[in-house]
Structure 1
Amino acid sequence: MDLNKILAFQQKIDYRFSDVSLLETALIHSSYANEHKLKKFQNNERLEFLGDAVLELVSSDVLFKRYPEKLEGTLSKTRASLVCEPALAYCARELGLGDFLLLGRGEDMTGGRDRDSILSDALEAVIGSLYLDGGLESARRFIMNFVLNDMENTRLFYDCKTTLQENIQSWSKDTPVYELVDEYGPEHSRTFVMQIRLGGRILGKGSGRTKQAAGQNAAYESLLTLKAEGIFKDKDDDLCI
């Protein structure tokens, strides 16, 4: 693995690994391991399994302490929204994690570096590697800085298309229309740009390696727009954090 990239990633997260091999493994996707005939455990899947558990523990602890009057059902819904695949993928993109991943050639050529499932799994694998290298506190610090640093907005990723649709229906007769406005890049790695129109107004735009991802990001941006204008209101007030 490129040592310069390893150093750059450690600088980005402000953590120096004692065992760099843990971070290297966290960045290896199974497609790369298969292509280079590595052993079955020499990819990030085991670390992702561990990181998922650590993330659930830390996020549960944060919500439990921050909102002492919230009931279990509300806390569970809020946690699910914060650590769902699209939300984690968004956090991974903000971190630029895709640039550091080792992918098989085919996976890389078909846009895997920006795929939600790959990014979210890799983010959890990084959390797992931090837990093994520096303990729970190191993993917690990363989670607070790069995953739970914007809970108020990140949680809106949870089923944001449905949330947007239901919210608009509560105050408008118009239906949001998803429009493909641009696409670029080589055939094997296209980037799509979608916008959401409501009547004569553009609510938000989003891009992604698939039309579905671009539409999801456009819905998220639209929710942020409505929220900034004071129009958006949560379906369940208890989920406001």
Structure 2
Amino acid sequence: MATPGIDELAERLGIPLSDPDAVRRAFIHSSYFNENPTLVSGHNERLEFLGDAVVGLIVSQLLFERFPDEDEGFLTARRAALVNRDALATLALQLGLDRYLLLGRGETDAGGATRPSVLAATFEALAGAILLADGIDVSAAWLQPLFTERLLGPGEAGAHKSAKSRLQEWSQRTRHLKPFYELLETSGPPHEQLFRVAAILDGRQLGIGEGSSRQRAEERAAASALQQLQPVPPGGA
């Protein structure tokens, strides 16, 4: 059985890999295992399950710390953009993980080594293997720089910003003030409340928003304020 060159892979990833067997399993597709049950003891799907959680945790912490003023909706959207199937498949190719894949003949003939779902699953399985072998600190040492680079890559620094962020950047740059949000009204039963919020800057009410949570209402109030302040560019410049 062809196996990954562990030293070469460790150099590519920039971290030590102390458990070669776990790393090798991360590259064994179920199609290979099904065709060669006597050659390998398992495939990578359980590691993929674990790695999905590891990647999500590391990226969530990265976003939480990098964007302290953003709400849950913004953080969720940014995480989804960073850890979706195509994004992880791109990372897998950039790291050369496709070179180590073990696929069954049918999967190989069908182009499995370039299939985004297979590549993304392999990336997650490798993350799971690294966690099991070397712990969360080594996992973070590998994953954090990878995703920080993508977070701050060309065009990313100003992309996907929430209306609240854009309004705050504009107000601090032009007025040297921060907007604040005043709760005007809460209505409806406890399980179905509606919040009404005003975005206020320098004593002036700039916009009003409503939503099922105060955070959503504030975001909509900020969006309304930005419309009133046109021609402020969408990116806050």
Tell me the TM-score normalised to structure 1 length. 0.60
Quote the offset at 1:39 in angstroms. 9.5
Q: Does the CA contact (< 8 Å) of 2:48 and 2:124 recur in 1?
A: yes
- Would the alpha carbon gap of residues 154 and 48 (structure 1) be closer, same or farther in structure 2, given more than 3 Å must change? farther
Map residues 84-99 of structure 1 onto 2, 5 A cutoff: 84-99=84-99
- Would the alpha carbon gap of residues 148 and 107 (structure 1) be closer, same or farther in structure 2, given more than 3 Å must change? farther
User: 1:22, 1:61 → 2: CA distance?
Assistant: 25
The aligned length equals 160
Quote the offset at 1:53 in angstroms. 0.4
User: 2:148, 2:121 → 1: CA distance?
Assistant: 16
User: 1:148, 1:48 → 2: CA distance?
Assistant: 22
Q: Does the CA contact (< 8 Å) of 1:82 and 1:154 recur in 2?
A: no
Match of 1:10 in 2: 10
Map residues 175-190 of structure 1 onto 2, 5 A cutoff: none
Match of 1:129 in 2: 129
Encode CA deviations 1:82-130: one digit per residue, 9 max, x unaligned.
0000001111111111111111111112211011000000001111111
- Would the alpha carbon gap of residues 120 and 75 (structure 1) be closer, same or farther in structure 2, given more than 3 Å must change? same
- Would the alpha carbon gap of residues 65 and 146 (structure 1) be closer, same or farther in structure 2, given more than 3 Å must change? closer
Q: Does the CA contact (< 8 Å) of 1:59 and 1:79 recur in 2?
A: yes
Q: Does the CA contact (< 8 Å) of 2:59 and 2:147 recur in 1?
A: no
Q: Does the CA contact (< 8 Å) of 1:113 and 1:119 recur in 2?
A: yes
* 3-state DSSP of counterpart to 2:149: coil
User: 1:14, 1:59 → 2: CA distance?
Assistant: 18
User: 1:95, 1:38 → 2: CA distance?
Assistant: 29
**Partner AA of 2:54 in structure 1:** V
Q: Which runs of 5+ in 1 are unaligned?
A: 157-232
Q: Which runs of 5+ in 2 are unaligned?
A: 157-232
- Would the alpha carbon gap of residues 76 and 110 (structure 1) be closer, same or farther in structure 2, given more than 3 Å must change? same
* 3-state DSSP of counterpart to 1:55: helix
User: 1:124, 1:101 → 2: CA distance?
Assistant: 13
- Would the alpha carbon gap of residues 63 and 8 (structure 1) be closer, same or farther in structure 2, given more than 3 Å must change? same
Q: Does the CA contact (< 8 Å) of 1:28 and 1:42 recur in 2?
A: yes
Return 116-125 or 14-23, whichever deviates more. 14-23
Q: Does the CA contact (< 8 Å) of 2:86 and 2:116 recur in 1?
A: yes
Q: Which has the larger radius of gyration?
A: 2
Quote the offset at 1:153 in angstroms. 4.6
User: 1:111 aligned to 2:130?
Assistant: no
